[in-house]
């Protein structure tokens, strides 16, 4: 399988920015877009991001208190820069794109969370992406016992505090979230893009997402299953069959196994018909 390359005219700028900021998931997410769209020029996206960072640097110099910095950044992000969820009929894969979100100031909860989290970290706040019962948020820790959870589409804040006399179990219950970092944020971004591309029948784009996910997590049977489905859609039946069979061998108790088996039988019937 050939992996799509990067566009020549933006390569040096992106590589410089990416190498310098490798720990930040946002740069990996932006750069990933050139895997499924080799013609895209991401230079403007990186420049826009840098411009926002410089504006954050400027006001953070005057605000030493963490609460003031947080309030100022949230006010700037939502009221001055007007980042928000989209009210227009925009395909999900566009809203999931960081370059689109930076240009249009509009995105999905995922892109808004990644952007906001990055800006909060740039403001020297202890921010990370959070998951709570499937809902994405941004967590800002003020101390071990207290912090904020921010809803990325609206900026709505929830303050929490874990009482000093709470035992460990109570503390766990009162912090109702899972924090995700770096690779996990990147995987979440790629997985969401994969499904949004599939929903729009952009199978080649979705295949690029699967291949990047497999570079991170190896021969995962569920990614092999998805790749098999996509290869079938892209008229590569032999490779599709191998991936689907791998999934059956690795996950024989999966509830979807009968459907996958039926797909393999269809591939074999089509192969016999064509020969």
Q: Where in the chain is the domain with CATH 3.10.620?
A: 8-182
Question: Which residue ranges of the chain lie beneath pLDDT 50?
Answer: 1-23, 170-175, 275
pLDDT in tens, 73-82: 999 999 999 9
Give dist(CA 209, CA 198) in Å, integer. Answer: 10
In the chain, DSSP assigns E strands to 84-85, 106-107, 126-132, 135-141, 146-150, 157-161, 178-180
CATH architecture of 183-274: Alpha Horseshoe (1.25)
Q: Determine the length of the chain.
A: 275
Q: What is the pLDDT at residue 172?
A: 46
Give dist(CA 231, CA 245) in Å, integer. Answer: 13
Question: At the topology level of CATH, where does 8-182 sit?
Answer: C8orf32 fold (3.10.620)
Q: Where in the chain is the domain with CATH 1.25.40.10?
A: 183-274
Q: What is the pLDDT at residue 160?
A: 84
């Amino acid at each position: 399988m050939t992996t799509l390359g990067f566009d020549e005219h933006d390569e040096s700028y992106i590589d410089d920015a990416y190498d310098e900021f490798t720990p930040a998931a946002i740069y990996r997410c932006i750069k990933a877009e050139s895997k499924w769209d080799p013609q895209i020029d991401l230079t403007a996206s990186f420049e826009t991001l840098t411009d926002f960072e410089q504006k954050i640097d400027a006001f953070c110099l005057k605000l030493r208190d963490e609460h003031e910095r947080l309030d100022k950044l949230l006010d700037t992000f939502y009221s001055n820069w007007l980042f928000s969820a989209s009210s227009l009929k925009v395909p999900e894969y566009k809203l999931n794109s960081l370059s689109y979100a930076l240009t249009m100031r509009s995105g999905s909860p995922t892109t808004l969370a990644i952007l906001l989290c990055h800006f909060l970290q740039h403001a020297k706040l202890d921010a990370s992406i959070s998951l709570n019962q499937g809902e994405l948020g941004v967590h800002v820790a003020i101390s071990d016992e207290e912090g904020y959870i921010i809803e990325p589409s609206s900026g709505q804040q929830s303050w929490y505090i874990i009482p000093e006399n709470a035992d460990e179990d109570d503390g766990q219950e009162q912090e109702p979230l899972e924090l995700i970092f770096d690779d996990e944020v990147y995987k979440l971004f790629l997985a969401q893009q994969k499904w949004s591309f599939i929903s729009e029948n952009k199978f080649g784009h979705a295949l690029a997402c699967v291949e990047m996910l497999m570079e991170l997590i190896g021969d995962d049977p569920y990614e092999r299953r998805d790749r098999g489905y996509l290869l079938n859609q892209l008229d590569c039946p032999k490779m599709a069959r191998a991936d689907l069979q791998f999934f059956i061998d690795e996950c024989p108790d999966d509830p979807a196994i009968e459907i996958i088996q039926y797909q393999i039988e269809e591939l074999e019937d089509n192969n016999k018909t064509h020969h």
